[in-house]
Amino acid sequence: MDLATIIGFIAACGVVGIGILMGGPVSVLVDGASMFIVVAGSLAVVLMRSSVGDFMGAADQAYQAFADKGGKPEDLIEKVVELATIARKDGIFALESEEVSNVFLGKGMGMLVDGHDGAVIKSALSTEVAMAVRSAKTSRAIFESWGDFAPAVGLIGTLVGLVQMLANMGSPQTIGSAMAVALLTTLYGAVIANMIAFPIVQKLTQRAETDAINNEIIIKSLAFIASGGHPREMEVMLFSYLSPKVRAKLESVM
């Protein structure tokens, strides 16, 4: 898991937790009915707007985005240039014994070793990229919906609590629990939206951008290797994908 995620999550929980402790006991902010209304209700509404497969896939994509930062473009460029050098020196079949951690690159290398030309490799991998983009977009939409609906369901819970309170004004012992439901559902909805759902959307967006750059580097590199191009030329071409700061650093040691 990347450091920013760990620090950000702990800091957010810490700030809220300290604020709660400064205001009184934590127990006053825990209510099972409120939590059930907001969490179960908002997830049910999100599920209504999607398929079961997309719903479950969104959770998996979120886990992958947080657990794995994705490779840096500069590291990937270093690897594909190394592969291009091996292919030019020892032939394409020499790549068969090379191990790579990037699954997408490994698949493309397998096609390269099998004798497919650059156009076929580019077409096949581009289709796979398009499907991955579609999946990432769907997952982001699901978490965006959760962030939108959690506060709305919280508002519904608030109205439910107020109705219960007004309906039982003659029973003072029930007013407190009804008011807790009314207020805490709004709180839980805001927490889910701003501390869980929307940060996940941002993380998925960042991961999708990184993957898009890396996948394009891989596709162009494999096509270049298939054409028999010089590794040095490929390296210069791929440097355009790097930020000016990273590019200047790498060029200074070339």
Q: How confident is the model at residue 166 (pLDDT cuts 50, 70, 90)?
A: confident
Residue 84 and residue 16 share a domain? no
105 vs 109: CA distance, rounded Å: 6
What was the pLDDT predicted at 155? 92
Residue 19 and residue 7 share a domain? yes
Does residue 148 surpass a pLDDT of 90? yes
User: What's the domain range around 208?
Assistant: 31-252
Residue 220 and residue 124 share a domain? yes
What was the pLDDT predicted at 192? 93
What was the pLDDT predicted at 31? 81
17 vs 89: CA distance, rounded Å: 60
Residue 56 and residue 8 share a domain? no
Residue 92 and residue 78 share a domain? yes
Residue 130 and residue 10 share a domain? no
pLDDT in tens, 44-60: 999 998 899 999 999 88
pLDDT in tens, 196-228: 899 899 988 988 888 889 999 999 999 998 888
Residue 86 and residue 22 share a domain? no
What was the pLDDT predicted at 24? 64
What was the pLDDT predicted at 101? 85
Residue 60 and residue 123 share a domain? yes
Does residue 153 surpass a pLDDT of 80? yes
Task: Give the burial string for 15-34 (b: 16+ CB within 10 Å, else e).
Answer: eeeeeeeeeeeeeebebebb
Handedness of CA 71, 77, 78, 83 (dihedral sign): positive
Does residue 241 surpass a pLDDT of 90? no
Q: Which one, of 74, 75, 80, lies nearest residue 231 by Cα?
A: 80
Instruction: From residue 95, give the alpha-carbon distance in Å to each of 20, 99, 109, 165, 180.
Output: 58, 8, 7, 72, 64
What was the pLDDT predicted at 254? 59
Q: How confident is the model at residue 180 (pLDDT cuts 50, 70, 90)?
A: confident
| Least confident span in 68-72, 80-84, 163-167 | 68-72
pLDDT, the chain, mean = 85
Structure token digits, residue 18: 């300290």
Residue 6 and residue 94 share a domain? no
What was the pLDDT predicted at 252? 66
Neighbours of 205 (CB within 10 A): 14
What was the pLDDT predicted at 243? 81
Q: How many domains does the chain have?
A: 2
What was the pLDDT predicted at 227? 86
CB 154 within 8 A of CB 187: yes
What was the pLDDT predicted at 147? 95
Q: Average pLDDT, stretch 92-120?
A: 87
How many degrees, rounded to 5, is the angle at CA 86 between CA 83 and CA 88?
Answer: 110
Instruction: From residue 180, give the alpha-carbon distance in Å to each of 28, 48, 152, 177, 214.
Output: 8, 28, 17, 5, 49
Residue 6 and residue 88 share a domain? no
Residue 73 and residue 6 share a domain? no
Residue 228, helix vs strand vs coil: coil
Residue 81 and residue 111 share a domain? yes
Does residue 251 surpass a pLDDT of 70? no
What was the pLDDT predicted at 7? 81
Whole-model pTM? Answer: 0.80
159 vs 163: CA distance, rounded Å: 6
What was the pLDDT predicted at 188? 92
